[in-house]
Amino acid sequence: MSAALATVPRTVTVANGRYVPGTRPPHARGKSAAGQCYDALHYMQTRELGENERPEDRRFFGAEREGGRWEAARAVIMDHATDRVAFHRLILSPGQEVADLREWTRMVMDELSDRLGQELHWVAVVHRNTAHAHAHVLLAGGGEREREGVLTPVVLRREHYGFLRQAGDRSAEHLRGVGRAQGAAIHAAVEREASRAERSLQAAHEAAHEAAQEQDRAARQREDTGVGRGDTAAINAPPRAAEKEARATPTPTPEPPVRPQGGVKGGHGRGRAGVTAAGRALRDLLREHGGGDTAEPDEGRGRTGRGGPER
C-alpha cells in the first residue's frame, strides 16, 4: 500500500453521484435537463416502498424546508441551473444506524457548502427500501459565492466526494453523541423523578404512621378515663374553657309545689297541708254555731275528732 493511500482515513459513509450538463450538443439525443430533473424527482418519490416505509416518508426536504410538491422541488433545481452544470444526482448513506437521516443529510450538505464557499440549493428524499438507509439528493448546478453573490457553477471533483464521506462520518458521530447526551439527560431526569416520588411516598408513610400512633394514644386515654369516644373532646378541653361554659349555662329554677284543694279526699295520698286546712274550717264552723268542742283535729293521724264529720 502506498503512503498516499495509507494517509486517507477509512470511512463508512457512501457518497456517489453524477452530474447533468446544462447545455447539449445540437444533435444530442435523449431528454433535456428539465426532463431528466422531472424523472429524477419522480423516481425519488415513487420508488417501491420498503417493508417499514410509508408514502409520507417520501416527502421532499431541503436545507430549510420540509415537504412540498414536486413542482416546487423542480423549481428549486432548475432556477439555479447553469449552462455548465444543470444539477448533480447524489446518493448519501451513513453506512450505520442514524436516528435522524434527514438531519444527517442537512449536516453533510452544510459542510459541503462551507468547503465550496457557495450557497447550495438542493432537495432530497430518504429511502429505506434497502439494507442501508440512504438519501437521494438533487443538487442544483449553480450556487452563489459568499463574497460576490453571483451564481457560479457547482463543480464536484473526486476529492469532494471523499470530503462528503468524511463529513458523513463526522455527522453520524455527532448525532450519536447528541443521542447519548440526550439519553443521559433523559435517564437523569427519570432518576430525579423517581427519587422525588420515593421521598413523597416515604413522607406519606411517616404521616400515616404518626396518625395511627395518635389514634392509639387517644384510645388508651379513653380506656384509662373510662369515657366514650364522644367525651374525648371534653376531657382534652382546657379547665378554664369548661368553667366559662358552666357559668354561661343558666341554672334551672325549681317550680313551686302545687297545693291540693281543701275538700280532696284521700287516704295515704292526702298531704299534711290538706288535713290542717280541713281542721281549721271545721273549728270555725263550730264556733259560729256555738259548738262546745273546739279542740284541734288530730293532725298526726290524718283525721278529725269525734265531733267532726265522718270521713
Angle at 142 between CA 138 and CA 144, to 5 degrees: 125
Between residues 69 and 201, the one the model is more confident about: 69
Would the CA dihedral through 54, 60, 64, 68 be positive or negative? negative
Q: Is the pLDDT of residue 297 over 50?
A: no
Identify the DSSP state of 47: S
Q: Specify if 155 maps to a domain.
A: yes
Q: What is the CATH number of the domain that holds 21?
A: 3.30.930
Q: Is the pLDDT of residue 280 over 50?
A: yes
Q: Residue 226: how many CB atoms within 10 A of its CB?
A: 7
Q: Specify if 116 maps to a domain.
A: yes
Weakest mean pLDDT among 45-49, 209-213, 297-301: 297-301
Average pLDDT, the chain: 77
Count of alpha carbons within 13 Å of 76, Cβ hemisphere only? Answer: 24
Q: Is the pLDDT of residue 301 over 80?
A: no
Q: Specify if 224 maps to a domain.
A: no
Q: What is the pTM of this model?
A: 0.56
- 11-24 average pLDDT score: 88
Per-residue pLDDT band at 35 (split at 50, 70, 90): very high
Print the domain residue range for 137: 3-175
Q: How many domains does the chain have?
A: 1
pLDDT at 102: 94
Q: Specify if 9 maps to a domain.
A: yes
Inter-residue contact 90 to 139 (CB < 8 Å): yes
Q: Specify if 236 maps to a domain.
A: no
Weakest mean pLDDT among 43-47, 166-170, 265-269: 265-269
- Structure confidence by residue, pLDDT tens digits, 80-103: 999 999 999 999 999 888 889 999
Q: Specify if 161 maps to a domain.
A: yes
Count of alpha carbons within 13 Å of 57, Cβ hemisphere only? Answer: 18
pLDDT at 76: 95
Identify the DSSP state of 293: -
Q: Specify if 192 maps to a domain.
A: no
**Residue that the C-alpha cell 442537512 belongs to:** 106
Count of alpha carbons within 13 Å of 252, Cβ hemisphere only? Answer: 3
Q: Is the pLDDT of residue 195 over 90?
A: no
Q: How many helices (H) and strands (E) does the chain have?
A: 8, 7
**Residue that the C-alpha cell 447545455 belongs to:** 23
Instruction: Give dist(CA 311, CA 303) in Å, integer.
Output: 8
Reading phi first (left if > 0) and then psi (alpha if -120 to 50, else beta), residue 93 is in beta
- 120-138 average pLDDT score: 94
User: Grid coordinates in use for 224?
Assistant: 384509662
Cα–Cα distances in angstroms (integers) from residue 307 to residues 285, 292, 295, in the given order: 12, 9, 9
Q: Specify if 10 maps to a domain.
A: yes
Alpha-helical segments (H) within the chain = 3-6, 33-46, 70-78, 101-116, 158-225, 232-236, 239-248, 272-289
Residue 90, exposed/middle/buried by CB under 10 A (0-12, 13-18, 19+)? Answer: buried
Cα-flanking dihedrals φ and ψ of residue 143, to 5°?
A: -150, 150
Instruction: Give dist(CA 135, CA 94) in Å, integer.
Output: 9
Q: Is the pLDDT of residue 182 over 90?
A: no
- 197-225 average pLDDT score: 81
Q: Is the pLDDT of residue 295 over 60?
A: no
pLDDT at 8: 46
